[in-house]
């Protein structure tokens, strides 16, 4: 009872945060917006609706409490073509390991590249003097623990780096999340998470300097332009899910329930501190946990109004997984794919490889 009360108190604390969030007038004021992107192929097919039901390494991106359900060791790699047609690629790799009876440790690295961009100057606005390659890098370390058969929680500390050859910014962010499981066969799940909380940061480097001739002299001075600090795109996710077992469910050695046919429905409310709030819904059909298809929908008000909309990744999402055993001990290999419809460009494709043993 004490742990349940603690979970409710934590949820109320996050709801109080929600009461000051969702200010759409602040859209565009936050930095490090790559923290809002789900780089993984399996969970992105839900459209982010599976805050409560997500399990394994990918939980580091939505609700770290789900990391504690790692069976033993999990390795995941994914490549995302973000907003196809823009030449933006995201590569992610992660490792998760069960620690003791109820804990799990996770490490993830996400790199975002933008290709080569022409260097332009005031004198050469069309370029022709070389190229540069921006690179974003996020490294996350997480720990999650099952406090009881019903309650789990966790923490992610993430290092953020954005850099070109002569300008860079760096900082830290923290995610915390809890998960509650109840009902027969653990069918009902509730999850809540607070993401992207951390100190402000700013850009620094020689790229912010400018040289100017001193009038009536042959001297040249270098001036350093100041960069304003920016906040991180903090948000709160509150979600729930329910498993419909169409055939008899059986409990596995690690405490999970599986059935030959399962349908899971999920919903998540996302309260953004720097843009409009969003509602996410999704569902997944699984056959023996070997073949899974899923879909989702991300709703945000006024997305069809080109003059005021601020988000491009809204609307339908779809995904599929094929996961097969590699030996009798329960090791598996899985291939994941997802597609996210975008309001502009040609959508976002992601493909991933998962090893569990």
pLDDT at 269 over 80: yes
**Region 158-172: what's the mean pLDDT?**
93
What is the three-state SS of 40-104? Answer: CCCHHHHCCCCCCCCCCCCHHHHCHHHHHHCCCEEEEEEEEEECCCCCEEEEEEEEEEEECCCEE
Separation CA 52–CA 239 (nearest Å): 5
pTM of the model: 0.87
Q: For residue 122, what pLDDT is reported? A: 79
Q: How many domains does the chain have?
A: 1
DSSP letter (8 states) at residue 231: -
40-273-197-9 Cα dihedral, nearest 10 degrees: -100
Query: In this predicted structure, what is the pLDDT of residue 1?
Result: 43
pLDDT band for position 44 (cuts 50, 70, 90): very high
Rg (C-alpha) for the chain, rounded Å, is 22
Is 50 exceeded by the pLDDT of residue 284? yes
Q: How confident is the model at residue 26 (pLDDT cuts 50, 70, 90)?
A: low
Residue 239, both tokens: 């979600």
What is the enclosing helix (H) or strand (E) of 117? strand 117-118
Q: Tens digit of pLDDT for each residue in 214-225?
A: 777 888 888 777
Express each pLDDT in 290-348 by its tens digit: 999 999 999 988 776 666 666 788 899 999 999 999 888 889 999 999 999 998 889 99
pLDDT tens digits, one per residue of 196-208 = 999 999 999 888 8
Mean pLDDT, residues 83-109 taken together: 95
Domain housing 331: 2-356
pLDDT score of 139 more than 80: yes
pLDDT at residue 6, rounded to an integer? 47
- The CATH number covering residue 140 comes to 2.40.160.40
Cα–Cα distance measured from residue 339 to residue 336, given in angstroms and rounded to the nearest whole number: 11
Look at residue 256 and give its three-state secondary structure. Answer: coil
The helix/strand/coil state of 145 is strand
């Amino acid at each position: 009872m004490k742990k349940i009360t603690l979970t409710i108190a934590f949820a109320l604390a996050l709801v109080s945060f929600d009461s000051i969030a969702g200010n759409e007038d602040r859209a565009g004021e936050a930095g490090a917006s790559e923290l809002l992107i789900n780089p993984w192929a399996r969970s992105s097919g839900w459209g982010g609706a599976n805050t409560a039901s997500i399990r394994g390494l990918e939980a580091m991106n939505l609700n770290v409490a789900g990391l504690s359900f790692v069976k033993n060791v999990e390795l995941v790699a994914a490549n995302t073509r973000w907003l196809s047609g823009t030449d933006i690629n995201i590569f992610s790799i992660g490792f998760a390991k069960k620690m003791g009876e109820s804990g799990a440790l996770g490490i993830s690295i996400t790199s975002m590249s933008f290709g080569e961009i022409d260097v332009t100057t005031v004198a050469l606005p069309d370029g022709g003097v070389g190229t540069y390659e921006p690179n974003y890098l996020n490294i996350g370390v997480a720990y999650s623990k099952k406090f009881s058969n019903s309650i789990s929680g966790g923490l992610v500390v993430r290092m953020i780096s954005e850099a070109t050859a002569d300008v860079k910014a760096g900082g830290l962010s923290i995610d915390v999340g809890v998960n509650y499981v109840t009902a027969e066969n653990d069918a009902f799940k509730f999850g809540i998470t607070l993401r992207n909380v951390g100190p402000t940061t700013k850009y620094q480097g020689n790229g912010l300097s400018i040289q100017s001739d001193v009038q009536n002299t042959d001297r040249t001075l270098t001036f350093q332009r100041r960069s304003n600090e920016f906040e991180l795109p903090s948000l709160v996710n509150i979600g729930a899910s329910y498993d419909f077992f169409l055939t008899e469910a059986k409990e596995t050695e690690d405490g999970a329930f599986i059935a030959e046919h399962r349908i899971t429905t999920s919903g998540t409310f996302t309260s953004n501190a720097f843009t409009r709030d969003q509602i996410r819904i999704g569902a997944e059909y699984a056959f023996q946990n070997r073949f899974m298809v899923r879909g989702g929908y991300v709703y945000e008000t006024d997305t069809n109004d080109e003059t005021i909309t601020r988000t491009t990744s809204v609307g339908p999402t779809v995904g599929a997984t094929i996961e097969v055993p590699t030996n009798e001990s329960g090791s598996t290999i899985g291939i994941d794919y997802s597609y996210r419809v975008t309001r502009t460009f040609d959508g976002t494709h992601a493909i991933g490889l998962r090893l569990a043993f």
